[in-house]
Amino acid sequence: MPTTTEAETQSTEGPRAAAARLTGREVNGERSLSATLAEVTLADGQVVMAKRGDGRGAVRAEAAGLRWLADAGTVRVPGVYGHDERWLVTDRVPSGRPDPRTAVRFGRDLAALHAAGAPAFGAPPPGGPTEAYIGLAPMRNDPGTDWPRWYAEHRVLPYVRRAVDDGALRSAGAAVVERVCERLPGLAGPAEPPARLHGDLWNGNVLWGADGHAWLIDPAAHGGHRETDLAMLHLFGCPHLDRIIEGYQDTAPLADGWADRIALHQLFPLLVHTVLFGGGYADQAVAAARTALTG
Per residue in 22-72, pLDDT (tens digit) is 999 999 999 999 999 999 999 999 999 999 998 778 999 999 999 999 999
Mean pLDDT, the chain, integer: 95
% of the chain beyond a pLDDT of 70: 96
* Residue-wise pLDDT tens digits, 161-172: 999 999 999 999
* Residue-wise pLDDT tens digits, 138-151: 999 999 999 999 99
Residue 279's pLDDT band (cuts 50, 70, 90)? confident
* Domain 100-294 falls under CATH 3.40.630.30: no
Please state the rounded mean pLDDT for residues 5-33.
84
Q: What is the pLDDT of residue 122?
A: 98
Residue 216 β-bridge partners: 206
Active site residue 256: no
The one catalytic residue among 200, 218, 260, 283 = 200
Q: What is the pLDDT of residue 139?
A: 96
* Residue-wise pLDDT tens digits, 247-269: 999 999 999 999 999 999 999 99
Domain coordinates of the chain in residue numbers?
4-91, 100-294
* Domain 4-91 falls under CATH 3.40.50.300: no
Q: What is the pLDDT of residue 6?
A: 53
Q: Has residue 4 got a pLDDT over 50?
A: no
Q: What is the pLDDT of residue 3?
A: 52
